[in-house]
Amino acid sequence: MAITHDPADATGAAAEVTAPDRPEAPAPPANAPGTLVLGLAFAQLGLMVAVLTPVMVTLALRVAQIVPEAERGAALGKVLSLGAILALIGNPVFGALSDRTTSRFGRRRPWLIGGMTVGLAGLAIVATGSGVPALMLGWAVAQLGCNAAMAALVSCIPDLVPPHQQARVSGVVGMMTSIALVLGSFLADAFRSSIALAFLVPAVIGLASVVVLSTVMKDRPATAGTFAPYSVREFLRSFWVSPRRHPDFAWNFAGRFLVFVGISCVTSYQVYFLMDRLGYGQDEVSGKLLTGTLAMVVAVVAGSLLGGFLSDGSGRRKPYVLASSVVIGAGLALIATAHSFGMFVLALVVFGFGEGLYLSVDVALAAAVLPNPEESAKDMGVLNIGNALPQSLVPIAAPALLAIGGGGNYSALFLFGGVACVLGAVAVQFIRSVK
């Protein structure tokens, strides 16, 4: 039987032997699991509801219950300032301790759950205290506990989310802050007949949210011996990143601080703005604030989603920080000139869109300039001083600004915040390592 050879087979075989290997197409980078993104968003929502509801509404109403009208602004400033100072101290310290935690439960979970449990206890003191000293004590405990949880939470994005996805996840997580304002306003209005529940229900939501995140995240403990013992020197280092060695980190800190000066002007004083300039009574404020905040949050969500999509798509961060800071400043200028509720709501929409754009790139930009990824919680804690310090300084500076021209000068306060936002945008443009 004759055996024949097909030339095509020979050619194909030769080609199979001699053809050079073709490089395989690179696999697309893996994304963070959807359950993790949802868990991060829910934890941010819960923590912000617990912290911002008092800052925005219930602390001002609680102070108004306890002190005479003429003293309420100064009393609120004392309570907020003490809490903000402790937040300033606590965030980087708890961040550094979280980085070092070798617990079998991980290095973030114990601080998420333990911190929010302490925060709940502090808010219970505020809810039941009968004088300004009790409010100061309770708010101090609440801020320390909540900032321990926040220090762990904010490090989860650089820890667990890949760089190509960080702006989008930052946008989703960031817009939870503004949704928390709506939920907080709704809860304050729903429980306006019981100030205790207006504090405690948001705190319970905060605790539940970090428990949910703890069940869906992959959290590794720190490796023993990786860090130096937490000495006095390490405590002091918790508050410092050398601007000479890490100038981009320093410029980002400066920009964040200035933008949050502007944001703090709104979150801390819009209750008294509605009462003093627009003439609403104490029983009307929570409802009006809920309406305004709902409009603002729609704008925040739009800005966050748009900014995250465009920033990740282009790989650029600084242009969005510049644009968002200018828009926030414009919103503050509109609030400064508002003499009707409709104008106030329009101003909040502009302000909210700018805030959404900013929040969509804020954490992604911060993650890109961290000096040491292994100390992400400590370094993010230092950056978060830029969030916390304005909450302390704005209430200190606000009485002087409000007193210009004989008192009640909210225009001066909000214009001051608008100028700070624009200067923050300028500071970020000096960052060299990020586009």
Task: Report H helices in 101-237.
Answer: 109-128, 132-154, 156-160, 166-190, 195-216, 232-237
Backbone φ and ψ of 50, nearest 5°: -65, -40
Cβ atoms of 410 and 402 within 8 Å: the answer is yes
CA distance 76 to 236: 30
Confidence class for position 387, pLDDT limits 50, 70, 90: confident
Q: Per-residue pLDDT tens for 137-185?
A: 999 999 999 989 998 998 888 888 887 887 788 778 877 877 887 788 8
CA distance 275 to 256: 30
pLDDT > 60? residue 280: yes
Q: Per-residue pLDDT tens for 263-273?
A: 888 877 888 89
SS3 content of the chain, % helix, strand, coil (to 5): 80, 0, 20
CA distance 15 to 260: 65
Confidence class for position 377, pLDDT limits 50, 70, 90: low
Write down all domains in the chain, each with its CATH number in brackets: 33-221+231-428 (1.20.1250.20)
* Pick from 259, 269, 256, 262: nearest CA to 416: 262
**Cβ-based burial of 145 (10 A; exposed 0-12, middle 13-18, buried ≥19):** buried
Distances from the Cα of 106 to the Cα of 54, 92, 420, angstroms: 31, 18, 39
Q: What is the rounded (10 degree) CA torsion for 136, 53, 86, 366?
A: -170
Distances from the Cα of 116 to the Cα of 75, 151, 204, angstroms: 26, 11, 9
Q: Per-residue pLDDT tens for 39-95?
A: 999 999 999 999 988 987 888 888 888 888 777 777 888 888 888 788 778 878 888
Least confident of 20-29, 189-198, 232-241, 326-335: 20-29
